[in-house]
Amino acid sequence: MPQTQTKDDDLIPAPSRVEGPSRRAFLLDRRTTLDAAPGTETTARWLRTTLGAAFGLPLPDTADENATHSIRLRLDDTLAPEAYRLDVLPDQVAEITGGGPAGVFWGAQTLRQLLGPDAFRKAPTKATAKEEPVAVVTTQTIEDAPRFGWRGLLLDVARHFLPKDDVLRYLDLLAAHKLNVLHLHLTDDQGWRIEIRRHPRLTEIGSWRARSKWGHRASPLWDETPHGGFYTQDDIREIVAYAAERHITVVPEIDLPGHSQAAIAAYPELGNTDVVDTTALTVWDTWGVNPNVLAPTEAVLRFYEGVFEEVLDLFPAATSPFVHVGGDECPKDQWKASPAAQARIEELGVGDEDGLQSWFIRHFDRWLTARGRRLIGWDEILEGGLAEGAAVSSWRGYAGGVAAAEAGHDVVMCPEQQVYLDHRQAPGEEEPMPIGYVRTLEDVYRFEPVPPGLSPEAAAHILGTQANVWTEVMENRSRIDYQVFPRLAAFAEVAWSALPAPEARDYTGFERRMHTHYRRLDALGVDYRPPAGPHPRQQRPGVLGRPLEGTPPIV
């Protein structure tokens, strides 16, 4: 017998409009064909590799536009590019119509949910007769479109390296939740994770640290195992191509002028050599804000221009229009003490150390703009004057995003108080290495990306929203899964669906829909936090976190 289908109101994220269902049904079986119009080829390939594998079906092509027992993929430019309409018709046809290829793909994600949790497995779990349906969907129509164009997740692979296959897996998890941006945090004090061929020591030296702090930086414990790894240029090309097939933009982050000790350890001349013996620096093995920042020299600019030249080649403009330069948490102590930096401030006429940081950002804003890209940075790039054309990732609450949007700059809202998923999910000592604020599944569900009180003109500059996953205390894939899920499901609905005001949101209904969604996550092999609390294997007893409610996180 076919598995019971998902009810239409069990979908996550919730669609805009559903008509039906009726008593009639679309039966998925070995007779089902795939009719893909030009422009829908990526979704056709994805359906064969997912639904075909999950149910053991060939899903052969058909050229007959009137064929029954078929999944039809169509384009309709009267719809918005990411909008779709899913018609489950009584003549054994499921027709997905998108305003663009991405819309068709999101419609296919909805069809997958309707087919039940077994559609999320990699191979069939039940033997069926040749003519027996493997899944049933009642006839209905779903119309849907996203609220925001930027629906993202930051994955910090610098603090703890995540192997390439795990990054590809996370792209599939983003796609399953209709998220369309992966922000890859590729460099930091604790590691450099992207091959730059003209500067090989960035990965030869900068991608490895001798040991790692185990827990919060105040913890007395250390993991003495050397940690490291990096993505080759072919790895990056594979990640970007895999993402593009799933209509996901990959935003690379190369940090400057702070968070740069791994680069300085590899190339000591990048640091402030007149006040620090940079030849003694190694890749940092603990967490927090690091004092070692880039020197404000022309040689450093040329070095990083070379880095970005290779980065732009790996992340084509068509799929990665934005390049993130960090710009956050840049202590000014070394610049204040450095005669060379002080002379540079006077030479440039930038006034002070904040002006020097702004000079760094403005330089790369102009450099990227000249090459058809857009710079985006953390909200500290507002200090010393916001670079023209730059977009802002607002992480220190709403204030930076409000200031940037009111000044006419585009903003991605990712405030630490609401959507830093490294923060603990519940009070109590059972949470593994508890960091930062308590942010429950309900807290994330009630997050509102558009700050209250924004003028309509400023609100139009909110590109969207992003959840951030900083991995200081996430040493492997399972720990990342635990911190990210199930909260990413709530975040996905906030980013996609047209929800009412936070206080009016139906969290009880969302929680009910999550009962089905947990079964999807189980089928996908996601090691999420159970609603009742962590399994014993998910805990980290005796490892110090930062458990005080209200204290800021480590980033």
Q: Identify the helix (H) or strand (E) that includes residue 107.
A: helix 101-114
Q: How far apart are CA 237 and CA 494, in angstroms?
A: 30
Eight-class DSSP state of 355: H
Question: Residue 449 CB: number of other CB atoms within 10 A?
Answer: 26
The residue annotated as part of the active site, out of 259, 324, 423, 517, is 259
- By the 8 A CB rule, do 423 and 467 touch? no
As given in the structure block, the two tokens for residue 398 are: 């709403």
The residue annotated as part of the active site, out of 285, 329, 352, 442, is 329
Q: How far apart are CA 283 and CA 207, in angstroms?
A: 8
Alpha carbon of residue 318 to chain centroid? 18
Backbone torsions φ then ψ of 18, nearest 5 degrees:
-130, 130
- Crossing angle of the two packed helices 339-348 and 353-369, in degrees rounded to 10: 60
Residue 199 designated active-site: no
Amino acid type, 217: R
Cβ neighbors of 402 (< 8 A, separation 6 or more) are 394, 451, 453, 454, 458
* Measured torsion, CA atoms of residues 416, 422, 426, 430, in degrees rounded to the nearest 10: -150
Range list of β-strands (E), 52-127:
70-75, 84-89, 93-98
- By the 8 A CB rule, do 99 and 75 touch? yes
Q: How far apart are CA 286 and CA 261, in angstroms?
A: 12
Residue 329 designated active-site: yes
Q: How far apart are CA 467 and CA 450, in angstroms?
A: 14
Tell me how long the chain is: 555
Alpha carbon of residue 218 to chain centroid? 28
Question: Residue 421 CB: number of other CB atoms within 10 A?
Answer: 22
The residue annotated as part of the active site, out of 8, 188, 253, 365, is 188
Residue 443 designated active-site: no
As given in the structure block, the two tokens for residue 231 are: 């993505």
As given in the structure block, the two tokens for residue 341 are: 């930096």
Positions marked active-site: 188, 259, 329
